[in-house]
Structure 1
Amino acid sequence: MTATPVQTAATIVGVVFLAVGVLGFIPGITSDFDTMEFAGHESEAMLLGIFQVSILHNIVHLLFGLAGLALARSAAGARNYLIWGGAIYALLWLYGLVVDEQSDANFVPLNNADDWLHFVLAAGMILLGLLLSRTPRPGKAA
């Protein structure tokens, strides 16, 4: 069976999330690795020296990647993964904008770079899910 474009996109997004999750646990790729906390804004570990991460943050990336690979097995699952996953990232973006970075509410943790990456992920995933799962109208060429 040939994968649809939306399935291919969900697979790629899932693989990227898995890679990011793994990279977050590699010293050198993650700077200040020795300061990594399980959760909370106290973690000073920075993936690629830019994105604040914690053990929980990396686990979330790994789980998001596994979900993408599992749901990419069907076109409907891939579409749902991209759209609803994008919606989750939109909420995470909004959360990151309103929560004080030094507050205990910043449990993931998130910094400004994370916030804007979450916005790009939200927009990209939702657009991929909507655009790649469109079906041509009857009588129209594909």
Structure 2
Amino acid sequence: MTNTHTSRPGEKTNVQKAALAVGAVFLLVGVLGFIPGITAPYEELGFAGHESGALLLGLFQVSILHNLVHLLFGIAGIAMARTISGARSYLLYGGIIYLVLWIYGLLIDMDSAANFVPLNDADNWLHLFLGIGMIALALALTRNKDRDRSHTAH
């Protein structure tokens, strides 16, 4: 059985591959948010705030700020996937950030200035699933590492 926590030079562990994949998806989503047709009505894409009427894939409310956040989050995932600890941290803390965003989206009035990103119901539910999924990946793909440490400590 292969240990997923040690890797040969140039070989990525599963947690690194997961962080890389998640980062790449966020990068792609950030780019897609700036493409007319995939984001529509594109002429309603605002910089920030709930007034931005553009929807990515016809579902997710986006703005220039929202797209930039996706791009930065994607770049962070790709960069942090270089190390096992960075990949785990990206998935774990990124997942926590998305759960906080989910709660924030549930609590704010969607038509208020507090909805500055902006978020809609589809974004909120996506944030819940992203948060749970990212945390699950971080924990599941590094659980043997913690067990290995406890065995070597005895």
TM-score tier, shorter chain, comes to: over 0.9
The sequence identity of aligned pairs, in percent, is 63
TM-score by length of 1: 0.95
The whole-number CA distance in structure 2 between the counterparts of 1:105 and 1:21 is 22
Q: Report the residue type matching 2:45 in the other structure.
A: M
Question: AA paired with 1:109?
Answer: P
Out of 63, 66, 69, the position equivalent to 1:57 is 66
CA distance in 1, matches of 2:70, 2:129: 15
Q: Secondary structure at the match of 2:117?
A: coil
Q: Which residue, out of 99, 106, 109, partners 1:90?
A: 99
CA distance in 2, matches of 1:83, 1:93: 15
How many angstroms does 1:28 deviate by? 0.2
Alignment match, 1:76: 85
- 1:34 corresponds in structure 2 to 43
What residue identity is the alignment partner of 1:20? V
1:41 Cα deviation from its structure 2 partner: 0.1
Q: Deviations over 1:86-133 (max 9, x none)?
A: 000000000000000000100000000000000000000000001001
- The answer to whether 1:10 aligns with 2:19 is yes
| SS of structure 2 residue aligned to 1:102 | coil
Q: Which runs of 5+ in 2 are unaligned?
A: 1-8
Match of 2:5 in 1: none
| Counterpart pick for 1:135 among 129, 140, 144 | 144
2:134 alignment counterpart: 125
Q: Does residue 114 in structure 1 map to residue 123 in structure 2?
A: yes
Q: Provide the TM-score with structure 2 as the length reference.
A: 0.88
Aligned structure 1 segments of 4 or more residues deviating by more than 3 angstroms: 136-139
Tell me which structure has the larger Cα radius of gyration.
2
Q: What is the total number of aligned residue pairs between the two structures?
A: 139
Counterpart CA distance in 1 for 2:37 and 2:20 is 27
| Superposed displacement of residue 134, structure 1 | 1.6
Q: Which amino acid aligns with 1:72?
A: A
Letter in 2 for 1:87: I
Q: Matched residues in 2 for 1:14 and 1:133: separation?
A: 18
1:135 CA drift (Å): 1.7
